[in-house]
Amino acid sequence: MGRPKGNPRKEHYYQAAKRHGYRARSAYKLRQIATRHKLLKGVRIAVDLCSSPGGWSQVLREIEQGIEIIAVDLNPMAPVENVKFIQGDITDEKIIVQIEELTRGAADLIVSDCSPKVTGNWELDVARQLFLAETTLDLGHRLLGPKGRVLAKVFQGSGFQEFLMQSRSRFRTVKLIKPDASRKTSAEIYLLATGPRKNEAN
Ligand SMILES: C[S@@+](CC[C@H](N)C(=O)[O-])C[C@H]1O[C@@H](n2cnc3c(N)ncnc32)[C@H](O)[C@@H]1O
């Protein structure tokens, strides 16, 4: 959604990811957000939703060697050292129960870089992506402890403002982040929500 002009293979972060051995250029988006917002501070259990091919899991593992990481994707993912991988749909209750068992109901961080299979129909693609972002926030409510954080990619299109308002009512603080590695032409933005309001009406 929003490709740079020219040959994307010549692009700075694409080249840097290749040199560094990251599986996806998007690894730099998480690296920048994690550094700037101290994302891994105090984290013991992290969940990487929509993780394949595994760039974000690589970054989480690289920054914090000691944490438990559970990664989930529809597509297969080549192993990342000490990352438990579940292949399945994050909207499927059976898969959610598996994540819940592995996190023992006490995840500290959920990161989510979900994109649906792009159809080329902008409205439909945005609606499907928004559904994945909403699912991520629901999982945040269900799986995170009281100080837990969720980082979710979302496209700024139809329904975005409502999503933002809902996030603000369900979490204590919400920030929007556009990391340098995210293309200026892309509609994507990252929402960082902290502290699910579990026992309050929302
Ligand atoms: C942009 S890629 C993620 C890249 C990843 N963060 C990385 O650094 O390697 C988006 C991923 O979302 C996954 N995805 C889309 N819908 C999903 C769903 N319902 N459940 C699980 N994964 C899904 C796709 O299979 C795809 O691998």
- Interval 66-92: pLDDT, tens: 999 999 999 999 999 999 999 999 999
Asked if 153 is an active-site residue, the reply is yes
pTM: predicted TM-score of the whole model, two decimal places: 0.95
| Cβ neighbourhood burial of 105 (10 Å; 0-12, 13-18, 19+) | exposed
Does residue 3 fall inside a structural domain?
no
**Four-residue CA torsion sign, 93, 159, 112, 104:** negative
Does residue 201 fall inside a structural domain?
no
Query: How many domains, the chain?
Result: 1
Question: What is the CATH classification number for the domain harbouring 147?
Answer: 3.40.50.150
- Residue nearest to ligand 1 atom 14, measured at CA: 50
* Model pLDDT for residues 145-188, shown as the tens digit of each residue: 999 999 999 999 999 999 999 999 999 999 999 999 999 999 99
Does residue 165 fall inside a structural domain?
yes
Does residue 202 fall inside a structural domain?
no
Counting ligand 1 atoms within 8 A of each CB, the residue from 29, 114, 119, 136 with the most, and so the one to mutate, is 114
Looking at ligand 1, which atom is closest to the CA of residue 114?
12
Q: Tokens 């919400």 appear where?
A: 174
- What is the percent of the chain where pLDDT is above 70? 93
Residues spanned by the domain of 83: 8-196
